[in-house]
Amino acid sequence: MSKVLVLPGDGIGPEIVNEAVKVLNVATEKFGLNIELDEALVGGAAVDAEGDPLPEGTLAKARAADAILFGSIGGPKWDAIERDKRPERGLLRLRSSLGLFANLRPAILFPQLADASSLKPEVVSGLDILIVRELTGGIYFGQPRGIKEENGERVGFNTYVYSESEMRRIAKVAFELAMKRDKRVLSVDKANVLEVTELWKEVVTEEAKNYPEIELSHMYVDNAAMQLVRAPKQFDVIVTGNLFGDILSDEAAMLTGSIGMLPSASLDENRKGLYEPCHGSAPDIAGQGIANPLATIMSLAMLLRYSLERGDVADAIEAAVESVLDKGLRTADIYTDGTRKVSTEEMGSAVAEAL
């Protein structure tokens, strides 16, 4: 039996997670899966209920689970509260407490949605990049950090730090994943300015020696941000640190024009993982039933593939999503003339049915 914890979170989180659970229930029946589902509060919802964005009970359930399906967190309601209680901190603590160091973010262009991109079709058609972002280290978690008084004024400071072993294990993940793809890995750094990324480049290069079939290249982060706009199809797997990965993976996702479609996985050393859509909690459209549940449904597919080792079920869910797109069903964010606009619930039901 596998334990799956559902953390709907805030904003559109509950709505989209609902649809993914609907699909999971159908998959459970169809494929005879043995899954125990549980649910808990996280983010702003948990702050409201228990004064903490990651309550003890939620963390305990997360530790006990084999995989976590996560919606989204945050919203203007919690912007003004003290730093430690902000919804985002709950997610950061969850990633860190569970050791979810490997964040996989595919940027894939769905042929059915090619028009949605702001880039010319020839630049993005067939796009299929996998960004591997280190998720539990770097400047996100580095100490010391804070705001202090110095010479009569405030000074803000953070620390960007990586140890060799942290770098090595994320490089390994990137190389392993690339072996199942086009065997090309780009490592992104700012080695001409930052010592921490100078070491990053060195360690990744060393680790590559264990993967003689992999073609490894390096790029400065500013150049990578440019090349993603100029010619994104040159990339296969991109590996980088937490902050650069945050920036580049969002940029890459937007190249597809449909961030409402893109899933992500955050994995520990043992294939336990947290799965969430790439997009945020979209408080402006929450509760209206118009959010796109497909990124969350695709995240569920990743959950089945990576943590539950049911690639067959993942494939079936992904095929169901494709077939629904082929039929012309679209939520508002990906709607174009000549397609059929559907609600969050209609979209989820259509995928469940197609499955």
Ligand X SMILES: CC(C)[C@H](C(=O)O)[C@@H](O)C(=O)O
Burial 216-226 (b: 16+ CB within 10 A, else e): bebbbbeebbe
Near ligand X by CB under 6 A, which window of 58-66, 85-93, 110-118, 329-337?
85-93
- Measure the CA–CA gap between 64 and 3, rounded to whole angstroms: 8
Annotated catalytic residue within 38, 128, 182, 250: 250
Does residue 29 interact with ligand X by CB under 6 A? no
Would you say 337 is a known binding-site residue?
no
Strand order across the beta sheet in which 215-220 lies: 35-39, 2-9, 67-72, 273-277, 263-267, 102-108, 128-134, 237-240, 184-189, 215-220
Helix (H) or strand (E) holding 185, with range, is strand 184-189
Name which position in 29, 36, 84, 222 contacts ligand X (CB under 6 A).
Answer: 222
On the CB side of 38, how many CA atoms lie within 13 Å of its CA? 18
* 292 annotated ligand-binding residue: yes
Is 291 assigned to a binding site?
yes
The tokens for 193 are 């300015």
209 binds, among ligand X, its own copies, none (CB under 5 to 8 A by kind): none
For position 192 contacting ligand X by CB under 6 A, the verdict is: yes
- Nearest residue (CB) to its own copies, 195 versus 269: 195
Q: Is 314 helix (H, G, I), strand (E, B) or coil?
A: helix
Fill in the per-residue mask, 246 to 275: x = in contact with ligand X (CB under 6 A), - = not in contact.
x-----------------------------
Beta bridge partners of 146: 157
Query: Would you say 246 or 318 has its CB closer to ligand X?
Result: 246
Q: Catalytic residue among 48, 222, 315, 326, which?
A: 222
Q: In which residue are the tokens 């950061």 written?
A: 92
Asked whether the beta carbons of 269 and 162 are under 8 A apart, the reply is no
Contact range with ligand X by CB under 6 A, out of 84-92, 120-128, 158-166, 267-275: 84-92
Axis crossing angle, helix 56-64 with helix 87-97, rounded to the nearest 10: 40
Tell me, what DSSP letter sits at residue 9?
E
Catalytic residue status for 148: no
**Known binding positions for substrate:** 95, 105, 133, 222
Q: Which residues bind ligand X (CB under 6 A)?
A: 88, 91-92, 192-193, 222, 246
Annotated binding-site residue numbers for Mg(2+): 222, 246, 250
Annotated binding site for NAD(+): 75-88, 280-292
Active site amino acids: 140, 190, 222, 246, 250
